[in-house]
Amino acid sequence: MSRRLLVVDDESGVRAALRQLLEFEGYEVRVASSGAEALATYEAWKPELVFMDVKMTGMDGLETLKRLRGRDPSAIVVMISGHATIQNAVEATQLGAYDILEKPLDTDRILVTLRNAIGRIELAQENQRLKATIESRYEIVGRSSTIRAVIEKIDELIARAIHRQSPRSAKRFVEVNCAAIPGELIESELFGHMKGSFTGAGADRAGKFEQADGGTLFLDEIGDMSLAAQAKVLRVLQDGEVTRIGGQKPTRVDVRVLAATNKTLEDEIAAGRFREDLYYRLNVVPIHVPALRERREDIPQLIVHFLQQFTTLDGAPSRGMEHAAAERLVHHGWPGNVRELRNTIERLLILSSGPSITASDAERLVGARTGASGGIGALEQCKTYEEFKDAAEKLFLQARLREHDWNVAETARAIDMPRSNLYNKIERHGLTRDHA
């Protein structure tokens, strides 16, 4: 579809010449002979770029530009002047003009200006498309009452936060996965360090709190954070100051903190693994995200969402899913969560060969997780207690590895097992991603 251009000039010869040039270049062109006609045409036709004379009888070009930009701040307007002065250029620029051209008009200059302006339009459209693409990857999908309640609560919080502290939305959003960072490095990651403060500290480094100053810090899996780091986080939240490891001078920080965990922190507090004072400091507005198995009515919608995401955004082969296959996924146990379902859809798209994902495709993938090779049924078949323990351990490890997307370090930390032990057990049981 060709770009729409509007030419505004009270001289018929200029209007005709510009229209002929621009239509020859493949653009769709309309003309207006006055400022009032230009405003009406712009409102009804929504051109993507306007060429407009500065000096016109009645409402002049600068006044028309002012009114046009008042109605549409994104309007791209190139001004034309028979005797452009510095004052004209400054005033037009202050009113939001993209550029100013002098008469007599030079064809090459017009086309260069036009190409640059169209490039700007295309860049803005591409940015908008990419933003929509990125946001779709993190969209919350579901119709169940539990997930809608979560969405409503999040929407309320976001609205209030932006209303109260709108400058913060322009600042950084910094994320830290506390489970994925070794315990000995978490403090350096959060609070930063000074050069030489420990082995490997080759330069001064700002921590995540400093990086998020003025913005938001998201502490994911905070239940896996060490007690020493918890104490320092609490101190930062109370005092609004952070001191780097090896440093002497505290730095003021203004950070909004969001935290998430898949653990029951009340149990962690009772076991002495999480500080109660930090829990109450963080637990101002709690949001419980229900497990997937608690909202099975959302699974069909999630399936459609992930199928579209993988085929549209990631270039996966386009396939539908038979109703029976979707039903099989709906009734699966889902020991993991939405990430497990997403991984399953991706693997079904890759491994299925037909035009649609069938029930047998789904059964081969999710059935293997709960069938005789490694599910609850396998435990019932055990003849001895040792066999039962071995099968139960295998089933447990499969579920935890799948829950943490096969991140061995994260899984080991979550189940409180040395990483080397977990690697040994994975090898002994012959576990691979195919089992997950």
Q: Are strands 205-206 and 192-193 parallel, antiparallel or unpaired?
A: antiparallel
Query: Which structural domain, as residue segments, surrounds residue 272?
Result: 171-282
Place of tokens 């200059």: 109
Alpha-carbon distance 404 to 433, whole Å? 12
Q: Does residue 184 sit in the same domain as residue 115?
A: no
Q: What is the CATH number of the domain that holds 117?
A: 3.40.50.2300
186 inside domain: yes
Ramachandran quadrant class, 56 (left: phi over 0; alpha: psi -120 to 50; beta: rest): beta
Boundary residue ending a domain (253, 282, 311): 282
Q: Does residue 360 sit in the same domain as residue 309?
A: yes
CA atoms within 13 A on the CB side of 183: 13
Boundary residue ending a domain (332, 349, 370): 370
Alpha-carbon distance 203 to 343, whole Å? 39
User: How is 394-419 classified by DSSP, letter by letter?
Assistant: HHHHHHHHHHTTT-HHHHHHHTT--H
Backbone angles phi, psi at 205, to 5 degrees: -145, 130
Q: The tokens of 239 are what?
A: 């005092």
pLDDT at residue number 153: 67
Q: Is 355 helix (H, G, I), strand (E, B) or coil?
A: coil
Q: What is the CATH number of the domain that holds 386?
A: 1.10.10.60
CB atoms within 10 A of CB 433: 11
Q: pLDDT averaged over consecutive 10-residue blocks of the chain (436 residues)?
A: 90 94 94 96 95 92 94 92 73 88 89 89 75 66 75 63 56 84 85 88 90 89 91 93 92 90 88 94 82 85 88 78 90 78 87 86 72 48 76 83 82 87 83 60
139 inside domain: no
Alpha-carbon distance 308 to 313, whole Å? 8
Alpha-carbon distance 35 to 59, whole Å? 5
Q: Is 258 helix (H, G, I), strand (E, B) or coil?
A: strand
250 inside domain: yes
Number of domains, the chain: 4
362 inside domain: yes
